[in-house]
C-alpha cells in the first residue's frame, strides 16, 4: 500500500472530563493540539478529515478541512471511526487521536508497510493494542456498525472481529511517542518531553 491509499482522520475527542476542558484546544508548546495535528498530518496521504463528534462541533474544523460528525452519537471512538470510514474515499483510514501529539508520519509508514491485505493494523504496548493510532480498511465500517447497533462500543472488539495485524513498539515507534494527554499532569509531562527534543 502507498500513502496515496490513505486518508488521515484526526479524532478530536469527547468531553475531556479528566482534562477539565476540550483537549483539542489545549495548548502544547504554544499550539493547540488541534493545530499541531493539522500541521503534522495535512500533507500525509490523500486527505485529512476531522472527527468532531456531534454535528454542533463541525465549526472546529478550519476552512478547507473536512469535518465528520458521528452518525451514531455518543459512541466514543468507535462511532467516530465508523463515520470516518463511511466518509473516506481511499482504501485505508489512518485514525489519529488528537491527544497523541508525538506520533507522526514515520510511525504511520510502519503500519502501512505491515498491513498487507489485513483489515486493520495497530501498534501494541506490553501486548495491548493501541487502536487510536491505527490503519483501518473501509470494509471495517460494516463490523463497526454491527457492534454499535448491538450496544458494544469497544474498539478492541472491532480489532478482534477484523483480520488485524499487531506491531510491537520498537525503535521506530518508541514508548515516549505514545504519550497521550488525558489530564493536566500528562500535559505537563508532554511539555517536559518537548523540552528534551521529542517532537
Phi, psi at 27, each rounded to 5°: -95, 140
Closest CA to 81 of 1, 157, 175, 186: 157
Q: What is the pLDDT of residue 18?
A: 66
Closest CA to 161 of 53, 99, 72, 81: 81
Q: What is the pLDDT of residue 20?
A: 61
pLDDT by 10s per residue, the chain, length 199 = 899 999 999 999 766 766 767 888 889 999 999 999 999 999 999 999 999 999 989 998 988 899 999 999 999 999 999 999 999 999 999 999 999 999 999 999 999 999 999 999 999 998 899 999 999 999 999 999 999 999 999 999 999 999 999 999 888 888 889 988 888 888 888 888 888 877 7
Q: What is the pLDDT of residue 150?
A: 97
Q: What is the pLDDT of residue 192?
A: 87
Q: What is the pLDDT of residue 23?
A: 86
Phi, psi at 76, each rounded to 5°: 70, -160
Closest CA to 53 of 74, 36, 29, 35: 74
196 grid coordinates: 528534551
The Cα 66–Cα 58 span in angstroms is: 9
Amino acid at each position: 500500500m502507498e500513502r496515496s491509499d490513505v486518508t488521515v482522520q484526526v479524532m478530536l475527542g469527547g468531553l475531556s472530563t479528566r482534562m477539565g476542558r476540550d483537549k483539542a484546544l489545549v495548548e502544547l508548546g504554544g499550539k493547540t493540539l488541534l493545530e499541531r495535528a493539522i500541521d503534522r498530518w495535512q500533507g500525509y496521504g490523500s486527505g485529512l478529515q476531522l472527527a468532531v463528534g456531534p454535528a454542533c462541533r463541525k465549526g472546529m474544523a478550519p476552512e478547507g478541512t473536512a469535518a465528520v460528525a458521528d452518525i451514531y452519537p455518543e459512541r466514543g471512538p468507535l462511532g467516530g471511526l465508523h463515520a470516518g470510514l463511511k466518509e473516506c474515499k481511499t482504501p485505508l483510514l489512518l485514525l489519529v487521536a488528537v491527544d497523541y501529539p508525538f506520533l507522526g508520519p514515520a510511525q504511520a509508514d510502519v503500519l502501512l508497510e505491515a498491513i498487507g491485505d489485513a483489515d486493520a493494523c495497530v501498534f501494541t504496548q506490553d501486548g495491548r493494542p493501541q487502536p487510536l493510532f491505527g490503519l483501518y480498511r473501509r470494509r471495517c465500517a460494516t463490523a463497526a456498525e454491527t457492534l454499535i447497533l448491538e450496544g458494544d462500543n469497544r474498539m478492541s472488539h472491532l480489532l478482534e472481529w477484523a483480520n488485524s495485524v499487531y506491531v510491537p513498539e520498537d525503535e521506530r515507534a518508541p514508548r515516549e511517542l505514545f504519550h497521550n494527554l488525558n489530564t493536566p499532569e500528562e500535559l505537563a509531562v508532554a511539555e517536559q518531553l518537548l523540552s528534551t527534543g521529542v517532537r
